Amino acid sequence: MDKVGNSFDVAIIGGGINGSSIAYQLSKMGRKVIIIEKERLACQASSAAAGMLAAQAEIEQDGPLFQLALKGQAMFSTLSSELFEYTGIDIDYVNKGMLKIAETEEIAEEVKKQVAFQRNWDPTIKWLDSKELREMEPALSPSVSGGMYLPNDGHVQPSKLTQAFAKAAVYFGAEIRENTEVLSFIYENDQVKGVKTTNGIIHSNQVVVATGAWAAKLMSESGLDLRVYPVKGECFSIQTEKPMINTTIFSDKRCYLVPKRNGEIYIGATMIEDTFDNKVTPGGIATLIERATQLVPQIKEATWERVWSGIRPQTGDGLPYLGEHPRWKGLFVAAGHFRNGILLSPITGKLVADLLAGRLLDEVLHSAFLLERHKETAR
């Protein structure tokens, strides 16, 4: 292919949820964008996630990540309609709330403190005792001590959301190349000029690495020791004829149960660090079954559906990397979202698109997610 036909304003490496979100935002700006994916769109963590939008259940203290999560969560209602208009894809956005469960009196005291903290941002959040919990969700075990009710935490279908982002990007002129692996970057002086791939050279003055847990390997070629490492999560799902639960059930110490529109309940997830081996193990699933049935005993009577796993990208300090390479101009990274990749995808797309357009981020956000912090970050 000639240089003109292979030249773009921005090349995005990685066809997962964040790469696709960035492509969507940039394409809407009128930028000429290509997504380069070594396998297929949404083939890794983006299709394995449960899709929880748990801004206030998982992040327990204020800071840049928490504020980013709140902004991301607030975008989903409008985003769902917007993407459906451009693509016809329903991302299965469900907003029926979440229960963060306390299984012991000791944990209950911790969760009650979280309720008081979280009410600073959402006064509808409240503590429910064991009786109130079972009035809301009768299938819950009587042994549960209580829990935090978050009425505004919902969930989506991550693979559909990724496909919708990508299709919407194409609607605005983006190109997608699957089964194409990026081998190295091309530089000229201190500027990135494109990438070498298994299917030829792609010319671009801006490149975004959005390859999740694989970002560190690719970025090492640029001289950056990015502290992103893999954490495997195993999951399974069951099918029920009648709804067993209506809200998402989340136990910090044990597991989560996410009821989907099609009658499936997603149950996950194990956490196994430093492995790209995505096989599902009997031991991992057995542990999840034990934990889930202690929370919702009726699960034992449901129909078995399927098992799967995904590789999450964690960082040394738990914050994602969103920023430009400290040496090479035009080379950006958006990776390391760990368990918040789905939740943060809309705001990640917006922030990275703004960065590439030369717009300055909020100073606190910029300092928190800047790539230069890799020098201080240690696992």
Instruction: Please tell me the predicted confidence (pLDDT) of residue 378.
Output: 35
What is the residue whose two structure tokens read 């101009």?
329
Report which secondary-structure segment, H or E, holds 233. strand 228-239
Alpha-carbon gap, residue 265 to 243, rounded angstroms: 9
Question: What is the residue-level pLDDT of the chain in tens, covering all 379 positions?
Answer: 445 569 999 999 999 999 999 999 999 999 999 999 999 999 999 999 999 999 988 888 888 899 999 999 999 999 999 999 999 999 999 999 999 999 888 999 999 999 999 999 999 999 999 999 999 999 999 989 999 999 999 999 999 999 999 999 999 999 999 999 999 999 999 999 999 999 999 999 999 999 999 999 999 989 998 899 999 999 999 999 899 999 999 997 679 999 999 999 999 999 999 999 999 999 999 999 999 999 999 999 999 999 999 999 999 889 999 999 999 999 999 999 999 999 999 999 999 999 999 886 776 676 677 776 655 443 3
Alpha-carbon gap, residue 56 to 60, rounded angstroms: 7
Instruction: Please tell me the predicted confidence (pLDDT) of residue 59.
Output: 84
Instruction: Please tell me the predicted confidence (pLDDT) of residue 376.
Output: 43
Domain limits, CATH 3.50.50.60, in the chain: 7-53+159-227+317-375
> What is the topology classification, in CATH, of domain 95-151+229-315?
D-Amino Acid Oxidase; Chain A, domain 2 (3.30.9)
Note whether 133 and 147 are within 8 A (CB): yes
Length of the chain: 379
Q: Which CATH number fits domain 7-53+159-227+317-375: 3.20.20.70, 2.60.120.380, 3.50.50.60, 3.40.50.300?
A: 3.50.50.60
Instruction: Please tell me the predicted confidence (pLDDT) of residue 46.
Output: 92
Instruction: Please tell me the predicted confidence (pLDDT) of residue 1.
Output: 43
Single-letter amino acid code for the residue at 107: I
Instruction: Please tell me the predicted confidence (pLDDT) of residue 374.
Output: 54
Instruction: Please tell me the predicted confidence (pLDDT) of residue 294.
Output: 93
Going by C-beta distance under 8 Å and a sequence separation of 6 or more, which residues neighbour residue 332?
206, 207, 208, 209, 323, 324, 325, 352, 355, 356
Task: Please say whether the dihedral angle defined by the alpha carbons of residues 269, 271, 276 and 279, taken in this order, is positive or negative.
Answer: negative
Alpha-carbon gap, residue 191 to 206, rounded angstroms: 9
Report which secondary-structure segment, H or E, holds 331. strand 331-335
Note whether 129 and 111 are within 8 A (CB): no
Domain limits, CATH 3.30.9.10, in the chain: 95-151+229-315
Q: What residues form DSSP beta bridges with 322?
A: 334
What is the residue whose two structure tokens read 């956005």?
93
Instruction: Please tell me the predicted confidence (pLDDT) of residue 253.
Output: 67
